[in-house]
Amino acid sequence: MSDPEPDASGYLSLRRGRVTMVLALVLALLMAGHRFVPDVLTLGTIVDAALPWLGVFVVPLVLVALLQRSVPALAAALVPALIWSFLFLPAIVRSPAGGASNLRVVEQNLYAGNTTPSAIAASLASTDADVIGVEEVTDSTAAALKTALSSKYPYMIRVSTLELWSKDRLGSWTSVDIGLSWTRALHTTVQTPNGSVSLYLAHLDSFRFDSDTTRDVGIADLGTAVRADPNKRILLLGDLNTASTDRHFGELSPLVDAQRYAAGLGFTWPSPVPLVRLDHIMVGGIAVTNSWTFPGPGSDHRGTAATLEVN
């Protein structure tokens, strides 16, 4: 007995691939409207941070649509692909802004449990940055940093688990309240050859699966401090414990992440296989010529660096 003739309208049938179409629609809505996902038990934060990785679900949807020989399902699967491309493809293919630079800055979470303090201190020294900001400083990493950096960086501020090292003169510092019981954010100024820059170093509260309220308060507090700053040139270094796709990241406006002027997404955590950018160099009134990440020996974070032009 011969097989029945295939339905001539099979490729266009809406009944074929309905599940695939629904899943594609849900994925597209999640990508486009991720900030509307309720932040209950940090669900919204997780979706925001995972946004770049939602694109991997497009591939199986397209393959299933092809196996189903359903044009409507294939068209539906291409919708989240287009949304993802709109959101992230420009960052992946763009080239660094380039141009002249006169200030190199570096940020690194050292990791409190780092068992190779000398190695990470040497790594930071090798960057030849003008300003270095670090978090999770312990007595052992502080000693290693002093050995590796003090000869080249005459200006240093240590507050709690934060340290700033600079080739140019640093002003007096003040703490910035970010909703924690001890100082994890500070403000100072750095006197570059081209003028004073208002400088912040911050380590926001860590992400918790039960609540991210304190971290969100810290972002808001930092944003308030930045907007009240009279200096037109502002630089923020920090482990902000959130991705730039986080719905609360706009609280830091008018600052922008230096990675917006560089190639790629600049993921920093976890260090062996980075999946999200928790570490940021943010600027206001300062031009960015490039930004990149680099390994941090013994740390669970990669370091991030940027070259800037201060006028």
Q: What is the pLDDT of residues 69-85, one digit of tens each?
A: 999 999 999 999 999 99
For all residues of the chain together, what is the average pLDDT? 94
Per-residue model confidence (pLDDT) at position 13: 61
User: What tokens does 27 get?
Assistant: 């994925």
3-state SS assignment for residue 261: helix
Q: From CA 175, how far away is CA 162, in angstroms rounded? A: 11
**pTM of this prediction?**
0.92
**Sheet with 279-284, side-by-side order of all strands:** 174-175, 185-192, 195-203, 234-239, 279-284, 256-257
Q: What is the rounded CA–CA span in Å between residue 97 and residue 103? A: 15
Buried b (16+ CB within 10 A) or exposed e, 134-143: bbbbeebbbe
By the 8 A CB rule, do 103 and 129 touch? Answer: no
Read off the pLDDT of residues 162-187 as tens digits, 9 standing for 90 and up: 999 999 999 999 999 999 999 999 99
What gap in Å lies between CA 295 and CA 301, rounded to an integer? Answer: 8
The letter for the amino acid at 301 is H
Give pLDDT, residue 12. Answer: 57
Task: Measure the CA–CA gap between 6 and 51, rounded to whole angstroms.
Answer: 40
Contacts of residue 227, Cβ cutoff 8 Å, sequence gap at least 6: 253, 254
Q: How confident is the model at residue 256 (pLDDT cuts 50, 70, 90)?
A: very high
Domains in the chain: boundaries: 10-93, 103-309
**Which CATH number, 3.20.20.70, 3.60.40.10, 3.60.10.10, 3.40.50.2000, labels domain 103-309?**
3.60.10.10
Q: What is residue 209's predicted lDDT score, i.e. its pLDDT?
A: 77
4-31: pLDDT as tens digits: 444 545 555 667 899 999 999 999 999 9
Q: What is the rounded distance in angstroms from the CA atom of residue 254 to the CA atom of residue 41?
A: 29
**pLDDT band for position 1 (50/70/90)?**
very low
